[in-house]
Structures are given as structure tokens and as C-alpha cells.
Amino acid sequence: MARTSSRQLSTADERREVVLRTAIGAFATRGYYGTTTSEVAKAAGISQAYVYRLFPDKESLFVAVIEHCSTRMREAFADAAAKAEGTAPAAVLDALGEAYARLIVDRDLLLVLLQATCAATEPAIGDAIRACYAREVEYVRAVTGADDEAIQRFFARGFLCNTVLALGADTIDAPWASTLRTGLRHY
């Protein structure tokens, strides 16, 4: 009599999600250039060959990670816009800023976005990170109705938040760090 296993195999989509989540952590820590697909595979508990079955190469995997992070940003912004206290551009921008401050508590997401910006000289990665920010800017424009100057300030503040957190300046007791984090929300 054949023995049946109660173990359920995961689907390719589930494995793809596991690889993406694992790759986010690896790329956040070591960057695009410092991370190998074998490290991602090992951390995900699968073979490197299976990683290549899901993603043709490391660049495709990194682009998928950028797109995943972009989707998370847009979802956070959409939730925040729906809960904004009012429809004035400033009120919606404030709600989006709050959502972003909460989102980048996930340092891996924050660091992947920074790593992607640093690797933007690679054509596919540059295209992906520019597309990410193009989508975010146009989404913010559409949902807030804010003018270009207000949108630029919103993103400039977000980029400053990224830098402050990446440097650990949110925990440093020094005048320069205090100056940089003045008025910023961090969790």
C-alpha cells in the first residue's frame, strides 16, 4: 500500500513570494552587487536552480524586489489617503507622510530603495527605480491634488527620512543629527 504524505507542496507563486521576501532582506543588507543568488536561495531554503526557474537572473530578481516595494508603498499611500482627515492637499499629504513614516520602520524596505538608487546605473535597475518613483509621484499628485512644489517637498522630506534612518541619526544625540531629524516622524 502506498503511503500518502500529509505534507503540502507550495506553489510556484508561494515560492516566488518567499524568494522575494528573502531577497529583500539580502539586498537590503549587502546591496545588489554584494548579494548572490546562492545566498538568497540558501536563506529561502531552496536551490539556486529553483531561484533561476522563478527569476531568469539576479537583475530580474532585484527588479521584482523593487516592484514589490513600490507596490507596498502604493498600498500604504492608498490606505492613508482613504483615512485622511479631510480632502485638502495638505491633509492628504500629511496622512501619506504618516503612512510612509510607519512603512519605513521596515528597514529592509527602506534600505532596498536606497540600494536600488545606488545601483541605478544598471539599465534595468535604473528603469525599475525610476518607474517606482514615477508611479509614486503621479499617485501622490492624483490623490492629493497638490501642486508640484508641495509634491517635491513631500518627496524631499521622505528622502531625508530615508537618510536619517539609514544613518541611524534618529538615535544619535548630536546637534547635526538633531538638525536633520527636526520635524520628521519616526517610529
DSSP 8-state secondary structure symbol assigned to residue 8: P
Task: State the pLDDT confidence band at 161, using cuts at 50, 70 and 90.
Answer: very high
What is the pLDDT at residue 14?
85
Residues near 60 by Cβ (< 8 Å), separated by ≥ 6? 124
According to the model, what pLDDT value does residue 99 have?
Answer: 97
What's the mean pLDDT in 58-65?
Answer: 97
Angle at 109 between CA 166 and CA 132, to 5 degrees: 110
Terminal C-alpha separation, the chain: 58
pLDDT at position 29 is 93
- The count of C-alpha atoms lying within 13 angstroms of the C-alpha of 104, restricted to the half-sphere facing its C-beta, is 24
1 pLDDT more than 70: no
Model confidence pLDDT, tens digit, residues 115-156: 999 999 999 999 999 999 999 999 999 999 999 999 999 999
% of the chain exceeding 90 in pLDDT: 87
> Is 4's pLDDT higher than 70?
no
* CA distance linking residue 35 with residue 61, whole number of Å: 11
Higher pLDDT, 1 or 18: 18
pLDDT of 2 > 70? The answer is no
Q: How confident is the model at residue 33 (pLDDT cuts 50, 70, 90)?
A: very high
Backbone angles phi, psi at 110, to 5 degrees: -55, -50
Identify the pLDDT of residue 8: 54
pLDDT of residue 187: 81
pLDDT, the chain, mean = 92
